[in-house]
């Protein structure tokens, strides 16, 4: 199997390769247009409208920035038709009314290999993060329900909330990016929002009564916002 370490090398920039990797922006594959990573849908729209490029199953790409940088380099080396299927719209219309779109997908072995390697790299990184958190003894946070302060290992706080407040977000070893997870939950409570049904209440006491009476001291498993905090969700693409 062709090694993909070479294809994953990123193009040079004025700040060097590291600057490209750490940048919060993602460039267009074809031009100087760029956008924030969090606004990647705007970039995808731009590439469809301006460059007729459609990327299939983009939600399954583990690292969108690296994916785009890789294909930006490859398309500069070879014609797009060497990699993409051509989709002709209005094929029965006069030639001047027809449009050719280019589909980039994992039916291309090179694209499939890239996606697999990006997925494996993300899994390695998230497992390293989980391992670090698992044995970290410098954890420091307060309980969201009683304001008791906890230091040491994250499991002390999570087990306390499960035992004392019936708030169970899962086994500590199944959770990753715990600080961020707790911050997301705390922000919802600060905004007087129920963590389960996500309704907003007029004051803190009303919210507490609602969550206790309705047994809503849990998170909504249907909320995809929480997926990134559970290690199992990194085991498969998307």
* DSSP code string of 101-131: EEEE-TTSHHHHHHHHHHHHHHHHHHHHHHH
Together in a domain, 144 and 85: no
Say if 20 falls within a structural domain.
no
Token representation of residue 223: 């909320």
**Is the Cβ–Cβ distance between 174 and 234 less than 8 Å?**
no
Say if 212 falls within a structural domain.
yes
Say if 58 falls within a structural domain.
yes
Together in a domain, 145 and 101: no
Residues 6 or more apart whose CB falls under 8 angstroms from that of 2 comprise 113
Say if 121 falls within a structural domain.
no
Q: pLDDT tens-digit profile of 137-182?
A: 999 999 999 989 999 999 999 999 999 999 988 888 899 999 999 9
Q: What is the pLDDT of residue 235?
A: 85
Distance CA 43, CA 60 (A): 16
Say if 129 falls within a structural domain.
no
Note the pTM of the prediction, 2 decimals: 0.74
Say if 46 falls within a structural domain.
yes
Say if 19 falls within a structural domain.
no
In the chain, which stretches have pLDDT less than 70?
1-22, 91, 93, 238
Domain hosting 90: range is: 25-105
Q: Count structural domains, the chain.
A: 2
Token representation of residue 131: 């391992």
**Element holding 152 (H helix, E strand):** strand 149-152
Say if 52 falls within a structural domain.
yes
Together in a domain, 155 and 87: no
Together in a domain, 152 and 96: no
Q: What is the pLDDT of residue 168?
A: 85
Given 87, 105, 123, the domain boundary residue is 105
From its phi and psi, is residue 104 left (phi > 0), alpha (psi between -120 and 50) or beta? beta
Q: What is the pLDDT of residue 177?
A: 95
């Amino acid at each position: 199997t062709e090694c993909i370490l070479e294809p994953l090398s990123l193009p040079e920039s004025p700040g060097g390769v590291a600057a490209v990797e750490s940048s919060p922006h993602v460039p267009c594959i074809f031009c100087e247009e760029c956008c924030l990573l969090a606004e990647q849908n705007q970039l995808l729209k731009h590439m469809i409208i301006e460059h007729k490029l459609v990327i299939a199953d983009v939600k399954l790409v583990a690292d969108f920035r690296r994916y785009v940088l890789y294909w930006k380099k490859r398309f500069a080396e070879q014609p797009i038709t060497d990699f993409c299927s051509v989709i002709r719209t209005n094929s029965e219309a006069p030639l001047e009314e027809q449009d050719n779109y280019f589909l980039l997908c994992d039916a291309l072995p090179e694209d499939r290999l890239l996606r697999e390697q990006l997925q494996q790299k993300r899994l390695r990184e998230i497992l390293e993060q989980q391992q670090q958190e698992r044995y970290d003894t410098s954890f420091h946070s307060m309980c969201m329900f009683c304001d008791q302060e906890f230091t040491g290992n994250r499991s002390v706080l999570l087990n306390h909330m499960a035992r004392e407040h019936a708030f169970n977000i899962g086994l500590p070893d199944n959770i990753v990016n715990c600080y961020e997870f707790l911050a997301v939950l705390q922000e919802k409570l600060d905004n007087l929002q129920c963590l389960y049904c996500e309704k907003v209440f007029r004051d803190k006491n009303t919210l507490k009564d609602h969550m206790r009476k309705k047994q809503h001291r849990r998170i909504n498993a249907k909320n995809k916002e929480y997926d990134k905090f559970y290690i199992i969700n990194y085991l498969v693409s998307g």
